[in-house]
Structure formats: C-alpha cells, structure tokens
Structure 1
Amino acid sequence: MNAPAAISTLPDLRGDFPGMITHDGTPWHYLDTAATAQKPRAVIEAMGRTLGENYATVHRGVYSRSAEMTQAYENARRTIANFLGGSENEIVFTRGATEAINLVANTWGRANLKPGDRILISQLEHHSNIVPWQMLAEATGARIDVCPLTDDHQIDLDVAEAKLTEGHKLVALCHVSNVLGSVLDAPRAAKLAHNVGAKLLLDGCQSAPHMSVDVAKLDCDFYVFSAHKLYGPTGIGALWARSDILDAMPPWEGGGAMIDRVTFEKTTYAPAPQRFEAGTPAIGEAVAFAAAADYISAVGLDRLHAHEAELVERLRRELGAMNDVTLFGPADSAGIVSFAIDDIHPHDLGTILDEANVAIRAGHHCAQPLMDYFKVPATARASFGLYSTHDDIDALLEGIARTRRIFGKA
C-alpha cells in the first residue's frame, strides 16, 4: 500500500514516546489518542523530577524546597493560562474536564439557576457534558434542551438560535466532538448565547490537543479540558473561567488551602482560583501538565493540525471507497475518523486489529445519545496524534482487510 507524500512539515516524533513500542520491540500503531494520548519523555521526566529530587509540599512550608515547589506549581498554572490565552487567576486545576464541569454545575449553576430556567446542550455531547447538567436540573428545577445535528453531523447552530430564549442561562457544547471530530463555530455559539444573556461553556478536551485555542477569540465564559488528552498525565485538568465569573462563584469543596480564616463561628475563603482547590493538590501532575503544554507548543498547534488533517483526509478517502463502510462526521473532522463496517461489530474489528498491534477505540465513546441518534450500538474510531503516521493507516487498512477475510467478506 503506497502512502501519499506528506504535505505537512511535522517531524517524526515517535522516538519521543516510549509507549509507541510494544514489549517485543515492534511498532505499536496507536490510533486511540482521542481517549488518551501517549506521553513524551519530557512529560515523564518532569513528573519524575517533581516526585523525586524536587519533591515537597506547596503553599505551606517555609523551607526553601517547599517555596521552590510552590513556585513550580504556580508557574504551571501560568503556563496553562498562556496556552489558552487567559490569565493565571482564571485557571483552576481540577482532576480533569469531568470534575471541571461538575465544579461549574455545583457552584455557578446552583447559585444562578432556578425553577424554569433552561440549559442548552447538543446531540453529540460526551456524557460528562450531559449528566452533570441533568443532576443540576433535578436539584434546581431547571430544564434541558437538546440541539440536533446538521446533515454533515455538526451542531446545528441555526436550530440553536431558534431554540434559545431569555430563559436560557447556560449553553454547554463540545468544541470538538470526541466521536465525530466536528468543530463547533464557537464564536457564533458564544454570540447566540450572549444575545439571550446566557453563558457559554466549551468542552475543550478534543480541541486543546489539536488546534490553537484562544479563549478571548472564542468568547466563551467557561472552557474545560484534561491533561491526559494533551500528552500529559491523568488525574489533572483545568477549568478556565472569566475572572469576574470565577470571583463571584461560591466554593464547592471545603478543607485546607481554600480558606482565609477558620473559626467555629465563621469561615472566610481564599480568593479565586485557590478557593476551588481544597486540600493538597496534584503537584507532580500540574508540573507535568505544563511540560505537556510546552512540548506541544514547541511542536506548533498549526503544524499539528495540518498533519492530522492530512491523515484524516487519506483515511476517510480510503474508507469511503469501501462499499460496506459507513463514515460518520464531517470531511474536515479534527483528528478523528469514526466508521462502521456492515455486519462486523466494532468490538470484533478492534479485537482482530489488536492482534496486528493496531489500537483503535470501539464502543459508544461515552456518547450513548449520539449512538441512539445514528441507530447503531457502537462505532469504530481511529484518532490521530502528533506521533501518528501513514504507516498507522496502512496497518489499519491491512487489518480491516484481514477482518473481512475472517468474516468471509473478502
């Protein structure tokens, strides 16, 4: 199989990622980056140093190493803020995007929503951008509206415009779909939300690793994402929120580090963002999170996006030429290709591909309402990262051909 000549200028970075080799030393064709990204040595080493020779607690000790570790932790906050085009006082470290959304729901949401208020989400949302709002609606008496998709599987903002009323207080949408790779016109979504006085929350889990993000240009009010999808560690993510909104939000979890003064009669709280970071934080994870942001910034988000667009175009073209394959999502999806093969369950395909060292995702991708919309139990999903190459596509296509033979469909 002959791969087309590369059009992107991204260098071969697989040598930076020790996880891209199997235990017997052969290449691993990892096509599940949308679930979690492999980690470069720069991130692994940053985590190791923080847990080893540099380790101390933060925000508490008066000794020099604690002060140095506190500085490194706060520098990580500054790095993540710069990565998004925000300010460091607008970044709250969380356990991930899921916790970040729950934080907004349980602080801003409970303080601002009342019976009869409305929340708008879309058909393609990840469960993490559905369930917290359902829980909030049950607690406050608010109601949820669902925006459908266009024929090419984008969030239909024309319908959203028609649905939105002054009763809507929040619009919560995925910036890039984790199933379809479709990219939201975020500035338009922000304008539509703000026209009716609503806030816009963007789930950036799949946009931050694939394209340049500037929260000022997006004009959103909340932006959430996870480190592990950005080539960083698990267990940490970030909430960005406009400083005036964040300052007005009440705390969610109580404990150490988020207080100003505690007495048995009354407790006063630290300013944002510290108010939302109760307890000893994920110190090593935060430093490694920043190392991941630095690594991907050095590569260049625009170069990465062009590289992944090249791979997406080729794979969609190859799969689209197969009569028994259904493709989901738009042609210009961001680093993700979801598909189904007639009469072959995605789980069977994924199992057979694994025998050839090809790793894809097969299932509902934490988006069961979207699977119901397409009337399928699951899809197969190949997702690319900065270490992905045409060799990975070759291996995937060869694995699909082998699967067809096993199922008597050659």
Structure 2
Amino acid sequence: MSPTTSFPKSDIRVLLLEGVAPTAVESFRNAGYSNIQLYDKSLPADLLQQEIAQAHIVGIRSRTQLTAEVLSHARRLMAIGAFCIGTNQIDLDAAELAGIPVFNAPYSNTRSVAELVVAEAIMLMRGIPQKSAQCHRGGWSKSAAGSHEVRGKTLGIVGYGHIGTQVGVIAEALGMQVIFHDIETKLALGNARMALGLDDLLERSDIVTLHVPETPATQGMFGAAQVTKMKPGAHLINASRGTVVDIESLAGALASGAIGGAAIDVFPVEPQGNADPFVSPLIGLDNVILTPHIGGSTLEAQENIGLEVAAKLIRYSDNGSTLSAVNFPEVTLPEHTGSTRLLHIHRNVPGVLSQVNDVFSRLGVNIDGQFLRTHPKVGYVVIDVTATQEQAAQVREELARIAGTLRTRVLY
C-alpha cells in the first residue's frame, strides 16, 4: 500500500454500492465531496476490483464481499463504510493490516428490528401464520382455539443489548412480562427481570426472541437441547444471525407441534441476490413466518444508517478521527484549525513512536499535539504541527520511510 497525502476533496473518489441511502450521498456532497460513483447493486468480482482500485472511500451494504484479494487491489483506499449492522462481509484483519479503518452503523436500525419482532410475537400468539395459509388455499377456520392475547404473557429475550432492550420496552407497553438472559450483567429497563439462566428463560417464556451477535460461542447455540427446554407450544423468533439456530432441529419441533410457531428472518445460508432461489427445511410449514432478512430494512432505518456511516467516513477523511471504527485504534480528535495534521498508521512493533518523534526533531518541526492509540497489530499516531506545506510534505516523506509504516496522510 502506498502512502497518501492530502488533496482537494473534489479529487477524493467516493464509491457507494448496493443502493446506499440518498442521505449518505447528500452528506458527502454537503461536506464538499463531489466525485461520487453510485451503483444500485453489488458488482461482479472483476468490476469490483477495477472500481475499488480507483476509490479512496468505499461504502457497501451486506452483499459486497471485501475479501483480502479484493482489498489487495485497493491501493488508494482510505476507509470503508458498512452501511448496515454486520461487518462479516469485510475481511477486517486484511483491512486493518492495510491501514484501512472500517465503520458501520450498529444501532441505526434498532427500532425497525424491534418493531418487526413485536409484530411477529402478536401474529404468532394469534396463530395468524396458519390461518393465513389456510385462507390462501381456500380454507376457512374461524375459531378462537389456540389464539391468545400477548397481554400477560412472558417474553424471553436472549441477548439484552440495544435491540433486545428496545423489544422489551415495546413489549411491556403491550402488557407483557419480560425476562432476559445475557452473558454479561445488564441493567434492566422498565420492569424486565434477568432470568436465572438460559434454561430458566426457556422454561418460563411463551415467546423466545434471539438477539445475539454472530460469534463462535453463539454458532448453533439454539439446537435440539434448547428446543426441548421450551414450554410446550411456545414460539421462537430469530432476527439476529442465521448461524445461531439449528434449522433442522427447529423444523422437526415445528412439524411435531412441540413448538407452536416461529418467525425466522435470518438463515444459515441465504441467497446472494433477489433472483436466486431460497431453500430451507422451514418452507411449507404453516406455523412459520419466513422473511428475507429484512429486520432492519425500512426506509427510516436506511436513512439513519446513511447519515451515521457517512458522518463517520467524512470525519475520518477530514479530521482523522476513528471513533467507533470496528477494526482500528479509536482516536477522538479535536479540530485542527491553524495546524497541519499528519497521520501515521503503522504495524504495532516496538520503537516506531520514537522514530516518528525523531523525524520531527531532525527536521526542526515543533509538535503542537500528539495522539496515539494501538491495536494488537496496528498503531495509529496523529500529530498536529505548525508547518508550511513544504515542511509537512518533507515530514510525510520521512515518516513513510519508517519500517512498518502502512500509510501516511497530511491534512491541511
């Protein structure tokens, strides 16, 4: 990766894929970025490599795969924006070792997911999936059998984070009793109560909803053993990650009636595009609501995500701040009006900072302020100086020669 220096915003090429929200485009333009390339869909591998080779900032959603191979072509790339919640589609280690911070929007679709989950809880408790399926086949089953209000019922939330807490607050407003389980001790909102453990939650809940991240610990965490622990006829909702639930075990329990119903928005294997077929053992089961990974897919959520991620990318490009980067040392920086700012991204090995400071000492450039943060693999140092453009350019050239340097930039 070649070091870069600062240049006019009109020369900074912003590549936005997969129909990123117009709020993001507007944010970049309002900030002075006019060289914006837009695509409504993800790109084929060969075209993606061509486009990313020319880009300084790239924004994607969930379908574009930024692998180590793709990133090896991104020699100008300064930052990546994931205009979504997850970052599994990006090789975070490869990006970090290339000196490229990755930003996402971990909270902007929280409300959209929570609303879908609560709506599905009501539908499941009323037996709507089965009744809808019967009507579509010309049947008619006007009966109260198996149909219940959610008021007074117990909702068990597995994973009491930003989405889980929102689900709990909305559910309580409907009169539900809320219990939750999390691997960390969490402050309960409203009248929610922590369960004694996962088994306790499963045994007590009329509806179980999953809101855990995708980690090695959560992969397949909800299988046959957990299904067996659930109350007879209880319902399961998964709007977290597809790898969390053993779909085969769930399908068997739904077919046998051990579980009353389920609403599944995420799957272990999902189609790459809207034209590809969806295959799942849950297809054809009347007591299941199937949705195509649209928990956060509302116009409001996409607008908020566009604003949040664009703001992070612009702040990094303009200022060097890396607050909330998912793969990079986090540095919150003040404005540098009246100063020239130099950014030095390097492998986290001993002696780099002393070599950085030695460059300024040898060239007689006084340091106004210095900020340093490190990750296990990468270090990020930001230096504000009072210097001419010629002096700053000379300093940057010297910094780039330091062994282990990944990238350098100058912000005037």
Q: TM-score range by the shorter chain?
A: 0.3 to 0.5
Larger radius of gyration: 2
Q: TM-score, normalised by structure 2?
A: 0.34
Q: TM-score, normalised by structure 1?
A: 0.35
Q: Which has the higher contact order (CA 8 A, sep 6+)?
A: 1
